[in-house]
Structure 1
Amino acid sequence: MTAEEMTMRVFVAGGTGVVGRPVVEALAGQGHHVVASTQRPDNLRIAEKLGATAVLMDGLDDASVRQAVLDAEPDVVVNLMTALSVPSNDYGKWLTITNRLRSEGTKVLMSAAHDAGAHRVVAQSASFMTRPGSGPTDETAPPYLDAPGPIGSHIQANIAAEEMVLDTPGVDGVVLRYGFLYGDHTAIGPGGDIAKAVEAGTMPIVGTGAGYYPFVHVDDAAWATVRAVSAGAPGVYNILDDEPAPQAEWLPYLAGILGGPAPDRISEQEAAERFGIQSVYYGSQLPAASNAKVKAELGLVFAYPSWRAGFGSVFGGREAS
């Protein structure tokens, strides 16, 4: 019997989020007993319809986390907790709760997973964390811990969480560094904030637009997570498609698909003043990243290996005009 064929008890923290829902549905469909947590009572029925046992849990309440995990008695814990579903014009404030979930929430979740006897934890992180000018990067590239403003604080929180996942005794830790998610219910999906801004022509190219966005379709991110529950050695994996996307290429391409105007170009200084320093980092400075490790070690085959075809699929099969 292979690892994939064994029935396991899997606790999915954040099981009703954008990635959590397809992960829970797939794991339940494979016959695993899935317990999915949510902080919102109105999401309990969603988790149940996906095939899971639903439980209320506040990821920043130690007692709540410990009770939920210990009661679930999981073999594997999947940590998909974020607070990114509500948009904000202030990038730093938008990340505040997610940063706490990464640092504080991960700490108690890992302790509870250990005490509950879980042998494996799969945790979400981010692939867009490397220093400008570092060239094409893989999972060994040093993170940009001294980045300015909210970029640095977010990267520090992610790395702190990763270290807890990887270093908990007796637990095989797997860190999945997702790229920028696109697809249904994301910012780059029908009705999403970025899609609406691109369609309206209010999202500009920053400087030369040489920042390489690591994109991944939400379905591919979910499938990678399901695979990692039972496959792959402990460690860090980039979860992103085959084609790093310079902002100067993907932004006009998406505008063409959506029928929006060609995006304006603004200087890095103007971008920092109008949108925040993160717009400069992502739009003009972010190095390209590689997905070679996850394809080799988890045997992952992406349904959407290129954002070009993926964008077209998400937005009704349209092509850039």
Structure 2
Amino acid sequence: MAVRVFVAGGTGVLGQRLVPQLVARGHQVIATTTSAAKLGLLEQLGAEGVVMDGLDAESVGDAVASARPDAIVHQMTGISMTHAGKPDLKHFDRWAVPTIRLRTEGTDHLLAAAEAAGVPHFVAQGYANWNGITEGGWVKTEEDPLALHRGTAAQTSMEALRHVEDVVLGAGGAVLRYGAFYGPGAIDDQVELVRLRQFPLVGGGTGYASWVHLDDAAGATVLALELKAKGVFNIVDDEPAPASEWLPYLAECAGAKKPMRIPTWLARLLAGEVVVIMMTEGRGFANAKAKRELGWQLRYPSWRQGFKEELA
């Protein structure tokens, strides 16, 4: 059944793949942007565009009330160069502030607006790449808690992710823990670093990551919306893998030389503790629940296929 969908963050890398999929399924989409200059892009994607400041409660409340949606999909982040500047993982806590605020204040504003407008269903963006709890095995399910990485520069970001899950699940909604995105516009900066040999393996490269193509992530989001899903779902591909496997393969697909390898002590000095954790201790995620409960089928079951096609 077609519904009115309010997509907060419609011009992000995922929003631009999600909106057309929703439109193709017959849904009426109202999508937000922070810039009036991008309203034309949303119109081209098939949505009604709205300028909204996700950190302003009044702006959010007015936008949701005017849209009169049947569901809200929260895809607001602040990791673009426009909002956060060049990625700075050594100072993760400072670089991630725009996204942290959107995942805390922004989520609260959207939930308050949903309650005020009587919106019955809410789907929010979570994260499941390298951030599973580091005890136990290398691949985590939805039953496993996310790591908080207390005492590191990632702690505030991890606490923001926990906040999203706590409040959205408390409101009867769904949180989609997306893996690391790749696809149009998603990893251009990483590929450039690989080609410049500025993206080294750290230590043994034993840390796991989980990837997902933007189109597969969008497809899972459409299913969660249409099925009125509740709870947490890992939206990742079939092959969580250590950096020692995926990073050299990414370099090969990009036509680059093999990544250099640096010891953990040097990486800690140059790039910080968070990068060391990602590359040596990170935990990946399993997708069985999303497949089973959402009927999700991946176009790109593995990053091996996806990287090759993306960089061909």
Q: TM-score with structure 1 length normalisation?
A: 0.92
Q: Distance in 1 between matches of 2:151 and 2:256?
A: 32
- For the Cα contact (< 8 Å) 1:14–1:36, is it kept in 2? yes
* Whole-Å separation in 1 of the counterparts to 2:107 and 2:304: 34
In structure 1, what is the equivalent of residue 147 of structure 2?
144
Instruction: Please say if 1:66 is aligned against 2:61.
Output: yes
- The within-5 A match list for 1:15-34 is 15-34=10-29
- 1:16 and 1:47 in contact (8 A); partners too: yes
Q: Which moved more, 1:144-153 or 1:252-261?
A: 144-153
Per-residue Cα deviation, 1:22-81 (whole angstroms, up to 9, x for no partner)? 211111222211100100111101111111111000010111001001111111000000
Q: CA deviation at 1:314?
A: 0.3
Q: Which residue pairs with 2:202 in the alignment?
A: 206
Q: 1:146 & 1:253 partners in 2: Cα distance?
A: 28
Shift of the alpha carbon at 1:146? 4.1
Given that 1:243 and 1:306 are in contact with CA atoms closer than 8 Å, whether structure 2 keeps it comes out as yes
2:115 is aligned to 114
Moved more, 178-187 or 87-96: 87-96
Alignment of 1:74-85 (within 5 A): 74-85=69-80
| Contact 1:35-1:52 at 8 Å conserved across structures | yes
- For residue 74 of structure 1, give the secondary structure of its aligned residue in structure 2: coil
- Of 134-143 and 173-182, deviating more is 134-143
Secondary structure at 2:270 match in 1: helix
Q: Does residue 134 of structure 2 align to residue 132 of structure 1? A: yes
Distance 1:264 1:133, change over 3 A: farther
Partner in structure 2 of residue 88 of structure 1 = 86
Segment of structure 1 superposing worse, 202-211 or 254-263 = 254-263
One-letter identity of the residue aligned with 1:150 = A
Assess if the C-alpha contact under 8 Å between 1:232 and 1:297 holds in 2: no
Shift, 1:89, TM fit: 4.3
Q: CA RMSD in A?
A: 1.3
Identical pairs, percent? 43
Within-5 A mapping of 1:224-239: 224-231=220-227, 233-239=229-235
Structure 1 runs not aligned, ≥5 long = 1-5, 317-321
Listed one character per residue, the Cα deviations across residues 238-271 of structure 1 (whole Å, up to 9, x for unaligned) are: 0000001210011111111222111111122211
Residues 1:89 and 1:20: Cα distance change in structure 2 (over 3 Å)? closer
Gaps of 5+ in 2: none
1 CA distance for matches of 2:157 and 2:248? 28
- SS of 2:153's partner is helix
SS of the counterpart of 1:36? strand
Per-residue CA shift, 1:180-231, capped at 9, x if unaligned? 00111112xxxx1110111121111111101111000111111111111112
How far apart in 1 are the matches of 2:236 and 2:167?
23
Higher RCO, Cα 8 Å, sep 6+: 2
The Cα of 1:232 is off from its aligned counterpart by: 5.6
> 3-state DSSP class of the match of 2:53?
coil
The 2-side partners of 1:184 and 1:13 are apart by: 20
Partner of 1:273: 269
Distance 1:28 1:89 in 2: 32
Task: Measure the CA separation in 2 of the matches of 1:295 and 1:138.
Answer: 13
Q: Is the contact made by 1:176 and 1:225 (CA closer than 8 Å) also made in structure 2? A: yes
In 1, Cα distance between equivalents of 2:159 and 2:228: 25
Task: Say whether 1:243 aligns with 2:239.
Answer: yes
Residue 13 of structure 1: which of 5, 8, 14 is its match?
8
For residues 185 and 273 of structure 1, the distance between their equivalents in structure 2, rounded to whole angstroms, comes to: 30
Shift of the 215–62 alpha-carbon distance from structure 1 to 2, 3 Å rule, reads same
Tell me the amino acid that sits aligned with residue 132 of structure 2.
Answer: T
CA distance in 1: counterparts of 2:296 and 2:228, whole angstroms: 10
Task: Identify which of 29, 40, 50 aligns with 2:45.
Answer: 50
- Runs (4 or more) in structure 1 with deviation over 4 Å come to none
5 Å-filtered alignment, 1:161-310, equals: 161-168=164-171, 172-187=172-187, 192-231=188-227, 233-310=229-306
Q: Is 1:159 aligned to 2:184, yes or no? A: no
1:28, 1:287 → 2: CA distance? 35
Q: Displacement of 1:233 after TM fit?
A: 3.4
Instruction: Say whether the 8 Å CA contact 2:121–2:228 is kept in structure 1.
Output: no
Residues 125, 178 of structure 1: 8 Å contact kept: yes
Q: Which residue of 2 aligns with 1:35?
A: 30
> Residue in 2 aligned with 1:3?
none
